[in-house]
Amino acid sequence: MTATPGSASPMAAEPRVALVRAGEPRVVRFAATERHLHTAHATAFMVMLFTGFVLYVPFMAQIFSDRPLMKAAHLAAAAVWLAALAVVLVLGDRRALRRTLREIERFDDDDLLFLRGRAVPQGRFNAGQKVHAIVQAALAVLFTVSGVLLWLGERDTALRLPGTLALHDAAALLAGALVAGHVYLAITRWESLQGIWRGTVPESYAARHHGKWSAREHSGDGAPRPHGVARLGLAAGIAGIGLVAAALLVRDVLG
Amino acid sequence: MSRVDDPSDLGGRPIGRRAFLGFVGLGLSSLAWGGAAAGLAVQSTKLVPEGLRAMIPFGKGWRIYAVNPPHPRFDPQTWRLTIEGLVEQPQTLSYAQLLELPQARQTSDFVCVTGWSVDDVRWSGVRFADLLAAARPLPSARALEFVSAEKPYVDSLTLEQAGAADAMLAHGMDGKPLERKHGAPARLVMPRMYGYKGVKWVERIVVTDRIRDGYWQERGYDRDAWIGKSNGR
* Distance (Å) from the alpha carbon of A21 to chain B's nearest alpha carbon: 26
Cross-chain Cβ contact B54/A218 below 8 Å: no
pLDDT band per the 50, 70, 90 thresholds, residue B233: low
* Res B47: pLDDT: 61
CB contacts of A162 in chain B (<8 Å) are 31-36, 115
Domain at A24-254: CATH code = 1.20.950.20
Cross-chain Cβ contact B70/A65 below 8 Å: yes
pLDDT tens-digit readout, B9-49: 567 888 999 999 999 999 999 998 887 887 777 666 666 66
Domains and CATH numbers, chain B: 7-53 (no CATH), 80-219 (3.90.420.10)
**What is the helix (H) or strand (E) element at residue B177, kind and residue range?**
strand B176-177
For range B82-86, the mean pLDDT: 96
Q: Is the pLDDT of residue A230 over 50?
A: yes
For range B50-72, the mean pLDDT: 67
Cross-chain Cβ contact B23/A61 below 8 Å: no
Cross-chain Cβ contact B28/A57 below 8 Å: no
Out of A91-100, A223-232, B38-47, B190-199, pick the least confident. Answer: B38-47
pLDDT band per the 50, 70, 90 thresholds, residue B98: very high
Cross-chain Cβ contact A157/B5 below 8 Å: no
Nearest CA among B66, B68, B82 for reference residue B147: B82
Of A111, A139, A157, the CB nearest to B12: A111
More confident residue, A166 or B148: B148
pLDDT tens-digit readout, B149-192: 999 999 999 999 999 999 999 999 999 999 998 999 999 999 99
* Distance (Å) from the alpha carbon of A24 to chain B's nearest alpha carbon: 24
Of B10, B70, B115, the CB nearest to A166: B115
Query: Is B55 in a helix, a strand, or coil?
Result: coil
| Reduced 3-state DSSP string for B18-53 | HHHHHHHHHHHHHHHHHHHHHHHHHHCCCCCCHHHH
Torsion of Cα atoms, B124 then B130 then B131 then B134, to 10°: -150
For range A17-43, the mean pLDDT: 82
For range A19-30, the mean pLDDT: 73
Q: How far apart are CA A250 and CA A235, in angstroms?
A: 23
Cross-chain Cβ contact A106/B232 below 8 Å: no
What is the DSSP track for B75-144?
Answer: -TTT-EEEEEESBSS-EEEEHHHHHHSPPEEEEEEEE-TTS-EEEEEEEEEE-HHHHHTTT-B-TT--EE
Cross-chain Cβ contact B31/A149 below 8 Å: yes
Q: Is the pLDDT of residue B8 over 50?
A: no
Angle at CA B66, nearest 5°, toward A144 and B194? 80
Q: How far apart are CA A114 and CA B8, in angstroms?
A: 21
Nearest CA among B76, B89, B83 for reference residue B184: B76
- What percent of chain A is predicted at pLDDT more than 70? 82
Task: Evaluate whether ipTM surpasses 0.85.
Answer: no
What chain A residue is nearest to B11 in terms of C-alpha separation? Answer: A108
Quickly count: other Cβ atoms within 10 Å of residue B122's Cβ: 14
**Domains of chain A, residue spans:** 24-254
Nearest CA among B215, B218, B170 for reference residue B196: B215
Compute CA distances A192 → A17, A28, B95, whole Å.
17, 11, 62
B76 contact partners, CB below 8 Å, separation of at least 6: B95, B96, B185
Nearest CA among A17, A79, A19, A88 for reference residue A48: A79
**Which DSSP state fits A158?**
G
Mutate to test the interface with A, among B2, B4, B18 (most CBs of A within 10 A): B4
For range A154-183, the mean pLDDT: 88
Nearest CA among B113, B69, B108, B85 for reference residue B217: B113
Quickly count: other Cβ atoms within 10 Å of residue A126's Cβ: 20
Q: How far apart are CA B111 and CA A76, in angstroms?
A: 29
Quickly count: other Cβ atoms within 10 Å of residue A2's Cβ: 6
* Res B156: pLDDT: 95
pTM recorded for the entire structure:
0.68
* Res B13: pLDDT: 87
Highest mean pLDDT among A218-227, B51-60, B189-198: B189-198
